[in-house]
């Protein structure tokens, strides 16, 4: 990949400086939430522990890449394996971040489990589009006591990214299987892969990487925002911890041959909205009728006043298969140029916070809150 060395952003607190012979410390806040990076293995079982998160920092201080020019403050609003994460936990995390005095810190690091990190990164990107300092999420593939673990290196790279790049916004820092510490924008990362423990991104485009000299290198691509242009983005949603609401009545469906929509019975409880995944060509079963027909299913749920969004698709205004047109005619709405993870969290936020359908739909499909909509290269 093509990389461009990113110059350090000028800041009164940036770079190591001496004052009267004393090293000025850069103050960072580490926000523990549990996950593998904060867990311990006991026998064949891996689980979070009260001391696991703090052991991470103790072990980091023993490493040759430890920085003595940083002060790491800590809070722990959550302590769970990320597969157990719920929208209520996002509210707890968002409240903890919002109540931090950002002016005291060079940046914030959220240690998180890898299973649901992509969803949390997208949600925090939307909620903290206005953050004026780096908000970095990171994780570990194994408990840090395991020799295969990349957790300590991921923490180190996250610290280096904050100190040496000092870019405002929400990011994920995670080492790939080539030993490269990659930097992702928070809304441009897919869920961790089952067989490889790797994070991928739309178009395999990452934002950058940390070089061997611990500086940030941008991946030069017109779809990546220029670091010099990064600034806190005006929030399109006004929220405070007491007013923030996330809708959990969102149903996600992934298509496969033989998906029988008659199995979905909404007589007792129904979702407010359904997010339906698509095949790579932007299609799903569009038979006119029958239990396997998404077209018939969309018509059925419209009668129940359940909205339906379809994703991912690069450009719904481009030439589409006949089946795609049938889905649109049935009442489905396409969300273009956005990952499933970013789309799902955007729906949960929109349906939790916006009542009027037109405004909510514009927020979901038209607004780019934090770089979640990718430009399609011709």
What are the φ/ψ torsions at residue 208 (nearest 5 degrees)? 175, -165
Are the CB atoms for 216 and 164 separated by under 8 Å?
A: yes
303: how many CB neighbours lie within 10 A of its CB? 8
What letter does residue 82 receive in the DSSP assignment? G
- What is each CA distance from 10 to 28, 223, 279, 291, 351, in whole angstroms? 18, 24, 45, 60, 39
90: how many CB neighbours lie within 10 A of its CB? 22
Q: What's the chain's Rg over C-alpha atoms?
A: 22
Tokens of 282: 């932007």
- What is each CA distance from 230 to 14, 185, 235, 270, in whole angstroms? 17, 12, 14, 41
Q: Residues of 257-281 as b/e, b for ≥16 C-beta within 10 angstroms?
A: eebebeeeeeeeeebebbbbbbeee
The one catalytic residue in 33, 36, 116, 120 is 36
Tokens of 219: 């991946």
The closest of 257, 372, 363 to 309, measured between CA atoms, is 363
- What is each CA distance from 106 to 23, 102, 378, in whole angstroms? 16, 8, 39
Whether the CA torsion 225, 226, 227, 230 is positive or negative: it is negative
Active site residue 36: yes
Which residues are tagged catalytic?
36
């Amino acid at each position: 990949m093509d990389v461009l060395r990113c110059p350090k952003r000028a800041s009164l607190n940036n770079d190591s400086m001496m004052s009267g012979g004393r090293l000025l410390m850069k103050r960072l806040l580490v926000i523990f939430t549990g996950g593998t990076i904060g867990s311990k293995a006991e026998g064949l079982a891996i689980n979070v522990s009260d001391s696991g998160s703090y052991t991470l920092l103790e072990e980091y201080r023993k490493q040759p890449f430890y920085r003595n020019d940083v002060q790491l403050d800590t809070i722990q609003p959550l302590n769970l394996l990320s597969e157990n994460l719920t929208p209520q936990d996002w509210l707890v995390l968002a409240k903890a971040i919002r109540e931090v005095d950002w002016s005291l810190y060079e940046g914030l690091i959220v240690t998180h489990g890898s299973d649901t990190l992509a969803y949390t990164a997208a949600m925090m990107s939307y909620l903290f589009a206005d953050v004026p300092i780096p908000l970095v999420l990171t994780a570990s593939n194994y408990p840090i006591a395991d020799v295969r673990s990349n957790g300590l290196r991921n923490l180190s790279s996250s610290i280096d990214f904050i100190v040496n790049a000092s870019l405002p916004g929400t990011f994920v820092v995670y080492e790939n299987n080539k030993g490269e510490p990659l930097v992702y924008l928070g809304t441009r990362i897919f869920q961790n892969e089952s067989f490889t423990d790797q994070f991928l991104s739309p178009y395999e485009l990452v934002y950058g990487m940390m070089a061997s000299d611990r500086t940030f290198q941008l991946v030069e691509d017109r779809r990546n925002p220029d670091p010099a242009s990064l600034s806190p983005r005006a929030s399109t949603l006004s929220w405070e911890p007491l007013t923030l609401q996330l809708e959990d009545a969102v149903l996600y469906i992934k298509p496969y041959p033989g998906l029988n929509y008659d199995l979905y019975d909404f007589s007792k409880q129904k979702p407010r909205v359904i997010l339906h995944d698509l095949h790579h060509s932007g299609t799903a079963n569009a038979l006119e009728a029958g239990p396997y027909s998404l077209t018939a299913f969309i018509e059925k749920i419209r009668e129940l006043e359940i909205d339906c969004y379809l994703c991912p698709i690069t450009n719904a205004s481009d030439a589409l298969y006949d089946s795609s047109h049938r889905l649109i005619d049935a009442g489905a709405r396409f969300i273009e140029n956005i990952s499933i993870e970013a789309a799902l969290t955007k729906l949960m936020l929109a349906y939790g916070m916006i009542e009027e359908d037109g405004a909510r739909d514009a927020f979901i499909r038209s607004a780019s809150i934090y770089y979640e909509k990718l430009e399609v290269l011709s």
